[in-house]
Amino acid sequence: MGFELGFWDYITFLVLALMGLSSVVLLLWLAGLPGRIAIARKHPEAEAVKLMGWAGFLVVVPWIQAFIWAFKPTDVIDVRRFPKEVAEKTEEEIKRLTENPGKL
C-alpha cells in the first residue's frame, strides 16, 4: 500500500471498533426498552409491548407507540367484583350484542 501501520493506527482501529460495538449495544438496549418498562410495571399486555418495541424499532413510529403504551395506566377492572345490578346490566348488554351483532 505504500505505507506502514504504526501503533497509533492500531489504536485508532481499536477505538473505531469499540465505538461501533457500543453503538450496536446501545441500539439493542433502546429497542428492548419499552418491553422492559412494561414488564417492570406489570403491564397486562407486556409481551405485546415488548414485541412492538423490537419490531417497530427500525421504523421508529411503532417503537414510540410501544414506549407510550408501556407507561399507559394498567388499572384492570374485574367485572366479577361489580355490584350485582351492574353485572346484570352487563350481562343484558352482552346478550343483546350477541343476538343482534349488526345493531348498536
Question: Which pTM value belongs to this model?
Answer: 0.62
pLDDT at residue 104 is higher than 60: no
Task: Give tens-digit pLDDT for 23-65.
Answer: 999 999 999 899 889 888 878 778 888 889 989 888 889 999 9
- Which one has a higher pLDDT value, 15 or 89? 15
Band the pLDDT of 81: cuts 50, 70, 90. Answer: low
Q: What percent of the chain stands above pLDDT 70? A: 81
C-alpha–C-alpha distance, residues 4 and 1, integer Å:
8
Average pLDDT, the chain: 82
